[in-house]
Each structure stands twice: as structure tokens, then as C-alpha cells.
Chains A and B, each alone.
Chain A
Amino acid sequence: MTGLQFAIIAYTLSTFALFGYALRVWVGYRSLARGSAEIAEVRQGGDA
């Protein structure tokens, strides 16, 4: 393998790791918001 190929592999893996983790955190926020909305809906239903 050439040096350029090694460099491309290193950059690809690192980029996926960094932005993959950012995506995971974003998904965490989304699912938490969805969960909170569902709880609020259930509470509203219960109160009514």
C-alpha cells in the first residue's frame, strides 16, 4: 500500500468516528425529545 492510501484510510476512519459520534449524540437528543413528548401526551390524556 502507498503512503497516500494509508493517509486516506486514516482520514476516512477518523472522519467517520468524529461525525458518527456527533450523529449519535444528535439521535440521543431526538429520542429524548420524542420520549418527553410522549410522556406529556400520556399525562394530558390522564388528566382529561
Chain B
Amino acid sequence: MPHAKNFLITAYWLTTFALFTVALVLVFTWTPTESTMGDVQKIFYLHFPVAINTFLACLVNFIASIAYLWTNRRKYDDLAVASATVGVLLCTIVLMTGMIWGKSAWGEWWTWSPRLTFSLLLWLLYASYLMIRPSIESPTRRAMVSAVYGVVAFLDVPLVWLSVRLMPDIHPNTISLEPKMWLTVAAFALPVTMLSFGLIFARYGLYRRENAAAEARRLDDERSETRHAAATLYRQGGLTS
């Protein structure tokens, strides 16, 4: 069974890598160039799916945080922190690709428009989530504080989504693309989603194993301390058997 599981995991990652490579080739060789913005519009095919997956990672964090508050089970805290880590990574890519696109399309790296500001706020919220955790020593308290924080931080996601619809913004709102362009979006959406969820669950698995190893080490230390104390007592004649 472990062999079959390892085979499936390897196949999943190889498929993701292959689909990502195919999508990259499609973007630069097959997809037509957009008439207004030119070649820089090609960034959209990665920027858009990564943005959607950022929201999905935040949603996983939100659901896992609620599940932790509901059940107090450690595994939900592990899932929440794994999704926050991947969410920060994806949000960094969204901001970076957006800035590169902005520099070419608008002539500046950054502008304080509602969509961009709320996106930066999203990055700051989840980066702070990851930075706050190590400062809390008790695992139970850390998980509880993180879960409450995760629920509150998620409120920024609808703000990012709705900002371009509710407020005047330089960021595009509606997109009109040729069928070939939509196919490229779909071709990128699949491996990016596979990659995002693969990373969340791989990181989650790693957290689970790290915690189990830490717990085993702690038990080992406790056992050897007890053994040492018993041996000392025995030598002093405090224990007879």
C-alpha cells in the first residue's frame, strides 16, 4: 500500500509539472497577442488563476479555523497554517506579477487603487498570521488565537473581490478574451490549482509528521528522565525493586 500511495503522489506531481510546462508553451507560442496591451497581457494567464487560488487557500484557512474552534482538534490547526503558508506564497506571486504588468501597462510599479490596496492588506494579514504563531508558546493557545485570527482575516477576501465592482479602480473589472485565450486561461488554471492544493496537503502532511516527531521526542525525554530518576532513587536505596 505505501508503494501505491507513493506512486500516486509521484504521478500527481509529474502530471502537474507536465501540465504547467504545456501551459507555458501555449502562452508563448500558441495564444494570440492581445491588440491593446500587446505581449505584456500574457501575464494575465498566470496572474488570474493564481489570484483565484489565493482566495481558495484563504477559504481553506477559514474553514479549517472554524473547524478548529468547533472541535479543538490539532489537525485543523495544521491544515489552517499550511493553507496560510501557501496563501502567502500565492498572494506574493499575484502582487509581483501585477506589479510587473502595472509597470509595463500603466508606467508605474504600484498605485494605491482599492483592488491593489486590499490585495496588499490580504498579504499583510496572512504574513502576520504566520509571524504571530511562533511568539505563542502553548500549542493550544497558539491554535486558538490563530483560528480566531484566521476567521477575521478572511473578511478581506470579499473586499478584494468586490473592490473593483463597488469603487472606481484602475484595475480591470471585466475581461473580454478570444476563445483561444480562454483556453489558455483554463490550461493554466488546472496545473495552478493542482499545484496549490498539492502544496497545501503536502505542507499539512509535513506539519502532522513534524508534530508527531516532536511529540515522540517529548515522550522519549520524559521516559528517560523518569528512568534516570528511578535509577538515582534505587542507588540511594529509596527503591527496593
Contact = CB atoms under 8 A, between A and B. Distances in A.
Interface residues on A, range: 20 to 34
A32 B206 CA distance: 8
A10 B199 contact: no
Interface stretch (B70-78, B92-100, B152-160): B92-100
A9 B100 contact: yes
A10 B202 contact: no
B43 A10 contact: yes
Interface residues of B, number: 37
Contacts, number: 83
A32 B104 contact: no
Nearest to A22: B199
Interface of A: 1-4, 6-7, 9-11, 13-15, 17-19, 21-22, 25-26, 28-29, 32, 35-36, 39
Closest 10 CB pairs of A and B: A3-B40, A3-B39, A4-B39, A7-B42, A6-B104, A3-B38, A10-B100, A10-B97, A10-B43, A25-B202
